[in-house]
């Protein structure tokens, strides 16, 4: 389809045991955690891929979770915050480098008001946080292309009010 990059059409086949792994798309979530002044929480990634780059807090969904459940769990784990009502922003494809493989991922993005104020960082994943207005974030400073697309879409939502 249009806009697709990367060749994930060929499955991995182990000639030793005969196992075939089809690279189906994994799902991940991220959220614009909104402060009352319009700024959102951005993290600095503590590990590869894109260590040191800005990102929205989030992560992979677990089996049996909804996108909303995964978002709340990941935010508790990464930054120790509780969220208000989640609103869907959109989804964009991503490719994540892990264990020598390129994993195709569909990133689901939400927005939510901040419902608690005490940040507790998971230092193995997050080296720091920054409260930034999405209009002020340079897209090239973001860790993933899907996040750049989500920030661009969020900017349009904010501009409409």
**Residue 89: alpha-carbon gap to chain centroid:** 12
Convert the pLDDT of each residue in 64-121 to its tens digit: 999 999 999 999 999 999 999 999 999 999 998 877 878 899 999 999 999 988 888 8
The pLDDT value recorded for residue 1 is 38
Percentage above 90 pLDDT, the chain: 66
Convert the pLDDT of each residue in 124-142 to its tens digit: 889 999 999 999 999 999 9
Is the separation of the CB atoms in 29 and 110 below 8 Å? yes
Q: Transcribe the chain into DSSP letters.
A: -TT--S---SPEE-TTT--EE--PPEEEEEEEEE-TTS-EEEEEE-SSSSTT-EE-SEEEPPTT--HHHHHHHHHHHHH---B---EEEEEEEEEEEETTEEEEEEEEEEEEEB--------TTTEEEEEEE-GGGS-GGGBS-HHHHHHHHHHHHHHHH-
Inform me whether the pLDDT recorded for 143 exceeds 90: yes
Burial 105-138 (b: 16+ CB within 10 A, else e): bbbbbbbbebeeeeeebbeebbeebeeeebeebe
Q: Residue 111: which region, alpha, beta or left (left: phi > 0; alpha: psi -120 to 50)?
A: beta
- At residue 9 the predicted structure's pLDDT band, cuts being 50, 70 and 90, is low
Q: Average pLDDT, stretch 11-29? A: 86
Task: Round to whole Å and give the CA distance between 48 and 57.
Answer: 15
The pLDDT value recorded for residue 10 is 66
């Amino acid at each position: 389809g249009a806009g697709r990059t990367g060749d994930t059409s060929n499955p991995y086949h182990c000639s030793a045991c005969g196992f075939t792994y089809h690279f189906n798309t994994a799902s991940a979530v991220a959220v614009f955690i909104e402060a009352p002044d319009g700024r959102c929480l951005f993290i600095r990634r503590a590990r590869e891929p894109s260590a040191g780059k800005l990102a929205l807090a989030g992560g992979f969904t677990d089996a049996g979770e909804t996108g909303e459940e995964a978002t709340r769990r990941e935010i508790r784990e990464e930054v120790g915050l509780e969220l208000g009502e989640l609103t869907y922003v959109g989804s964009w494809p991503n490719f994540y480098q892990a264990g020598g493989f390129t994993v195709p991922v569909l990133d689901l993005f939400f927005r939510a008001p901040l419902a608690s104020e005490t940040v507790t960082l998971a230092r193995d994943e997050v080296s720091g946080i920054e409260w930034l207005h999405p209009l002020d974030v340079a897209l090239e400073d973001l860790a993933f292309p899907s996040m750049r697309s989500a920030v661009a879409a969020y900017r349009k939502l904010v501009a409409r009010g």
